[in-house]
Structure 1
């Protein structure tokens, strides 16, 4: 049975106290739920950059993993305010989110830039949570499947079969992120199945069966259970609801 992966993307939220308090609360929950921790789930938390190191120290030796929310596409250089993959590895961070729609929209990250980030991440042995999703205009014009295929073909699908082992795919319909708008469950299943078939056509059935495809896009404690029931939904990338410990615990329990 494939483990469900639950990822919390805290974005630009939480200070030092909020971050450490949340993680310690989460650990208390897992101390009472050993069976869940060992057998069914993998939890990944993506706090803000200043708190990556302390977060990683707090969760050491548990089934909770820490991820960065982004990296630069160069290893080093005169890029004021940026953070490199090498820096993350030096403090024990092994996971990174790439391709989030907010990065694509607000910071003009193209598929070409994301491919460079993928190369840098793989070179530094980082596991990648790679986000893909269509706009509302693309969905309204029935171009969502074409859009997703293009995003994959210009990024991940340039990688080798061996490199694919380092990816988690996060399908996030851009129009649903943080808006409260949620696609129907069967629509999410249809897209996840489409993504899996694309991987099957490119890399074969073994790879397509093994890869985790999680859903994000206004996922909450109220709707997550139905999403997790879908055959090709292997977990969730949670935004706003991951900032409330009780809501996030409910999502973990539902998975």
Structure 2
């Protein structure tokens, strides 16, 4: 929940002007709801795609303040972040609600970016894989694993988000391998991102790991130079 029309415009123009032509890395920007159309307009003509930060688990109805997947599709949105740790913690979104959001996204032709991750307590108590398994299983209860060919998974350890801490290569690789194993036969086809204090100075090392396919960025996305440096590291 950052920015305004003027600040966002300057940021997006700076990013778009430097990210021209064809690239081997896919880039998606997910602004707050009021700026979706503004963002899509400023990015038109570039290879950068737009996404939303969340979505309703309902298709339509009397849900004041909610935004449906079909509405996002109307705005030429391509991706939707679901299950972000802040939504799980602050809005008390349950595993089941997030799984229902996943279904709504795919029903509307959108690509869900499913966030999973453990708290500090889970990490310290050795329960992190159980937590991530539970979050994935909530989705598996509603859909076949094969639909993840049209989805993205993002591992974001809560203890590393916005704290300046980053999972060690060993920690990140362990969890990413676990996620691929849980996805079964299609595990190697699914893009799994890492999110947790990714910066320009550590992006290259993270992307060099076999099971990390990209990054889910927070604060680093608010600085054009930092954001672009990470995008270039992904190539």
Which TM-score applies when normalising by structure 2? 0.95
1:219 to 167, 176, 198: 198
Structure 2 residue aligned with 1:7: none
Q: Give 3-state SS (helix, strand or coil) of 2:200's partner.
A: coil
For structure 2, list consecutive stretches of 5 or more residues without a partner in the other structure: none
Q: Give 3-state SS (helix, strand or coil) of 2:101's partner.
A: helix
Q: Give 3-state SS (helix, strand or coil) of 2:109's partner.
A: coil
Q: More strand per residue: 1 or 2?
A: 1
Structure 2 residue aligned with 1:142: 126
Q: Does the C-alpha gap of structure 1 residues 183 and 82 become closer, same or farther in structure 2, counting only changes over 3 Å?
A: same
Q: How many residues align?
A: 234
Structure 1 residue aligned with 2:223: 244
Q: Give 3-state SS (helix, strand or coil) of 1:97's partner.
A: strand
Which TM-score applies when normalising by structure 1? 0.88
1:85-234 residue pairs with structure 2 within 5 A? 85-156=69-140, 158-200=142-184, 204=185, 207-234=186-213
Structure 2 residue aligned with 1:9: none
C-alpha RMSD of matched pairs (Å): 1.4
Q: Give 3-state SS (helix, strand or coil) of 1:142's partner.
A: coil
Question: Is contact 2:145–2:183 with CA below 8 Å preserved after alignment?
Answer: no
CA apart distance, 1:49: 0.7
Taking CA–CA contacts closer than 8 Å with sequence separation of 6 or more, which of the two structures ends up with the larger relative contact order? 1
Q: Give 3-state SS (helix, strand or coil) of 1:231's partner.
A: coil
For structure 1, list consecutive stretches of 5 or more residues without a partner in the other structure: 1-11
Question: Is contact 2:102–2:114 with CA below 8 Å preserved after alignment?
Answer: no
* Runs of 4+ displaced beyond 4 Å: none
